[in-house]
Structures are given as C-alpha cells and as structure tokens.
Chains A and B, each alone.
Chain A
Amino acid sequence: MVHRVECLDVGQGTCNLIQLPGNRFIVIDVGPRGGGWQVLIDRLRLDPDLPQESLPVIEVLILSHSHEDHIGALSSLLESGARIERILFTDDRPIRDDHPALRVIQDAARRGKLSMDCVWSTIETDADGPRTVFQSADPDDEPNGRVALTLLHPDGIYAKKARERGQPNLAFAILHMRVGDHRFLFPGDAPLDAFEVVSDNFGRSVELELMAVPHHGGKTWNGKLSPGRRTRLQKLFQERFRVKSAVISIGSANSNKHPFESVIKALLEAGSHVLCTELTCRCWVNDLDEARELTLAHDPPHYHGLSRKTRPVGKATNVGCASTVVVKFENRVPVIERRSELRGVVENLKRSGSPMCTVN
C-alpha cells in the first residue's frame, strides 16, 4: 500500500519519497548537499536520539545517477541511522578515486552502518529489459491497488557509454511506479533520447498520473534544445507519455536557468499541469517591487514577501509555487494535496506576470 508520493522541496536538486505503511519508505534520489538534505532528514524524522527500532526503514534507496544534486545528501542519510534495506546505485563514472557515492557507501559499510549485501549496481552490459525493484506482497491487501516499482533504464549500452565518457546523465535510472491503475515516472535527469527508447519499448501511449520532470526542466541532452529536439519533445508528451501532473524539482534563481520555457511549453501544450517545488527565476514576475508584495499562500511566514534577490539560492527554504508536492490517495485515486491553494498561487502570479505553471 502506498500512503503518499512526495516530490520534496530540497532546493536545486531532486528527492522523491514514496511512503509505505509502518514507517517504511522508498527514496529516489536524496537531494543536494548544502541545506536541501535537511528536508529529507526532517521528513524521515531521523532524530539521532531515537532508538534504532523507531527509525524509518528505507526499503529501497535509488540513486538515479551520481550528480551532486541527486546524491549530495547520501552521507548525512547514512550517518543518521535510517535502516536501508537496499541501495540501487548507478555506476556511471569512470573508475577513478573520486567516486562520491562509492566513497560514502564504502565508508558506511566499513563502519558497520551498511551491509554491502544491500548494494546493487546497475553496471551491466548484458541486461536487457526492465527489472522489478519492489512489489507489494499481496495485492488483495492493497487498498490503493498493487504497488510495483520497475527499473526501466539504463540498459547496458547507456551505462557503458556513461562510464567511458564520464557523463553520469547518460546512465540515469528511470523508475516507473504503478499503484493500482495509476502510473508515476521518476526519470532522474534522463535525456530525450532515453525517453524515446523507453517509449519505443512500451510500444504504446502511456498515461502518467505524475512525472518528476527530468533534469529540472532543463536541457534534455548535451546543450541547447534545438527546433528539431523541441518537436520531438512535443511529440513525446502529446503522443507517447500523457502526463497529468508534471513536477519540476528546482531551486529558485538557479545558475542553470532551469526550467527551460520550451520544456514547460511542451508539457502545457500536451495538457499537463506543471508545478515547481520552488518559485523560480524563470517564472518569477519581472517587477521586483511587485514581487516583494506577492505573498504565497503556503509560504512559511519567514519568507512572506521576500523577493528572489533576498531568498537564498539553492536552499530548500526558497519555498515557491508548490513547495513539496504531496500526492495522497483518496478512494484509490491519487490527489495532489493543496490543489486549490496552488491554484490560488498561480492566479496570484497571473495578476503580476505570466507564470509558466498551471493548476487546473
């Protein structure tokens, strides 16, 4: 049974959480170093004073790829005592002596905080086809429908390329979760090409309840989104993956200028609702004086009225449009919490500018 799905507001980075009964979780990426990781520690209630049996169990921790904004919090998570049953780790770097995830995993294992038996790597050149990562035991006991988490990608070719070229984004893991009849996609920083490969493998149009937008709505391959790629992106979302809600995990005023307008436009044209975990420089109102007057409905009080200039960059406290996006299940149907409140925020933005996001 899945209680809820959360795209956490960890600033410029990605951390998705799936809560199962009994203080158990599936975690897909852990967010960046800096301040954002604290959101995950708080959310999991990893109090250092709690006895071991009260700490949460992470059934599966998946690191989609080895970029800092996805794995930066790994050390703090392992130190803080969460009981991790399995880690799925993407070996996407050339073998050098600076592998950030391996270093942390090895240290934790050496000090008895982690069993090496629990670590699985996606390095493989002969594995074809998707793999089941997690599946609920008895579908009859699942009030919201059977849960199945599947690793769709990378396949061997991509993992090999990523290692040889030193480009972790090539070997990102794409995770698909099915809860009853509802589908969720967590594609890490997957490029457009990989989406097309996955889509071809499906061989049919797939309806997604929620998609964590890859690469924070930024570039979908190495560099600019050319007109040709834009057309492919539009086709992807209009014909292959029909996304009901697209969540962009992002930090405000990020130096990468995420999200790209073209990515959001492609999603909007395909009828998706787009939410950002933070208010970003790309959709913020142009007039800073107006921005200072803008109060977001669910902003913590200490951020009311702060402009993008006065909000610290890349920290989770830059709460924006949606902050953490929470999906709950009501009568087996996934529902985004605070939807009406989010609508109000977007309407508020519309009065002072042209927000790229939409909540219907």
Chain B
Amino acid sequence: MPGDVTSQYVDNHLSWIDDSSGAAVLDSMEPPVSDEGLAASDEEYIRCYEGAVVKPVSSFTDDLTGLVFVLKREYSPASGWCDSDDVSFHVATFWVSRDSELRGEGCSRAKAVRDHCRKIARRFQELYRKLPEEMDVKEASDWNLLLEGIDIEKTLAAWPTRARQAVEVVADHPWKVLPYGGVEADIELEDAPDGFERLKAGDWITAVCVYDAETHELIGIESMRPREPMPKLTASEAKEMLKSMRKTSGLPPIDWSDI
C-alpha cells in the first residue's frame, strides 16, 4: 500500500503523489470533493461527499502482518469525504458498503484505504479460525461479505507457513540450518534476525521459521532464542520414561458388541 500522499492537479486530472517516492499512486478522473453524496449512516448523521475513484487493485498486503490478500477481481477503492459535527475524515471501501464497520477511515485517502485493508485483514483472520457452523449470525454475515471480495484459495495459497521449531545450525559462514523434523536449508543473514550471525555450527535455537507456501522451502527465520541441543535418549532413560507412563490398559474397557 502507498504511504502518505499529496494531491496534485495534472492536466485537469487529480493525481496522488506518494510523498516518499514521488510516484503517482492513485489516479482520479474527477475532483475529490463534488456533490453531496449518500449518508454513510443515518444514525451517525454523517454527510458524505462523493470523491475520486482511485487506481484498481487486485490484491493488497496487510502492513501489520505482511500477509497478501488476493481479491476475486480488481477493485477501485471508492473513497469519499465524511464530516460530522465534530470530525471530518476520508472513507474508503473496496466492495463493502459505506456504512459497513469494515470501511476504512483516515485523514487522507491513502490512510483510509490502508485502514480498510487492515480492517479486512483483521476480520478475515478472526473469522478464518472458525468453522461456518461455529459463527454467530453477525460473524457469518461478515464472513460471507469478506468472501465476496477475497479469493480465499489463492489468498491462503500465498500465505507462508510460520512455525516454531527446534533448529540446529549445521554450518556457518555461510549458514545452513536443520529444523528438527525438517530438511537442511541455506539461510542468508538478511533473512535471519539480529544475532543470527553469531551462531556457529552445532548451536541450537528455537526459531520461528517461515516456509514458502508453494515449495515448502525455508525462506527465513523471524525470531529465535538459544536452546539446548535436542537431547539423546539413553536406553535406561527410555526405559524409565516408559515405566513412568500411564498405560492404555487404564482406559475404560468397552465390549466389542457395544462398539
């Protein structure tokens, strides 16, 4: 998503210029404030003014989590200007209505769009953890609304897998790691957290490993802390451990005819 932008008129068209890069990031075919539009919410007594139509997007990245959300089609984030008795702010939506809780709000168009992306991302992740039959009416309604715009299959396929694992450093300069239960992989320092460069072959860490969603290859380590090597279990320890375990013979018996 773009950072802060300022608007400029170029050839009678309004363009939004990214403050940091100077590039045009949003285009409009009409001035930002024109006729009075529909009220966003009757209860809130907010008056909306139709604004510009900005450059269409087919996906967006949640800037808090870095997760990519793939949309079912291109959407131009319809943006507008709202003012109530006390505050004035921009609003932005992709496919949801202006009075939705998911609408984006901000002091600039870009911030409103970004806020909208964040709200979609947050709500999606809340509801994604539930099965449809576990949702209440409101949640089911929101989930269906989200699925109107989000291509869930492509979105989930694009998300990397993150998992906490015990990892052995098997080589240094350059570094190779072997997550326990995984496969050996090269790791670049730029893909590893601070302090990784001090690790030597034979060190063990507990790390949040990030894997490519398609290839399942290790693409980076997000965070880490040192840990003891995965212990070897001696035969006597194993025997002692087994002895201390409860046995399934202690589970309730059931007759074959009752199964």
Contacts and interface: CB of A to CB of B under 8 A. Distances in A.
Contacts of B255: 129
B45 interface: no
Given A76-B182, A107-B230, A301 B164 contact: no
Q: Number of contact residues on B: which range applies?
A: 35 or more
B77 to A, nearest CB: 25
A3 interface: yes
Contacts of A203: 256-257
Interface in B116-146: 128-129, 131, 133-134
Interface stretch (B54-62, B98-106, B244-252): B244-252
B256 A74 contact: no
A131 B253 contact: yes
Contacts of B247: 120-124, 127
A237 B91 CA distance: 63
B198 interface: no
B231 A132 contact: no
Nearest to B161: A38
Interface in B219-259: 227, 230-235, 237-239, 241-242, 244-257, 259
Interface in A180-207: 201-203
Secondary structure class of chain B's binding surface, majority of residues: mixed
A97 B232 contact: yes
B202 to A, nearest CB: 17
Contact of A95 (B181, B242, B254): B242
B233 A54 contact: no
A169 interface: no
B147 interface: no
Interface of A: 3-4, 19, 21-23, 33-35, 37-38, 41-42, 45-49, 54, 72-76, 79-81, 88-89, 91, 95-99, 102-107, 110-111, 116-117, 119-124, 126-127, 129-133, 148, 150-152, 176, 178, 201-203, 300-302, 312, 315-317
A45 B252 CA distance: 32
Contact of A48 (B133, B153, B162, B242): B162
Given A37-B181, A131-B252, A301 B154 contact: yes
A77 to B, nearest CB: 9
A127 B235 contact: no
A26 B206 CA distance: 26
A222 to B, nearest CB: 25
B166 interface: yes
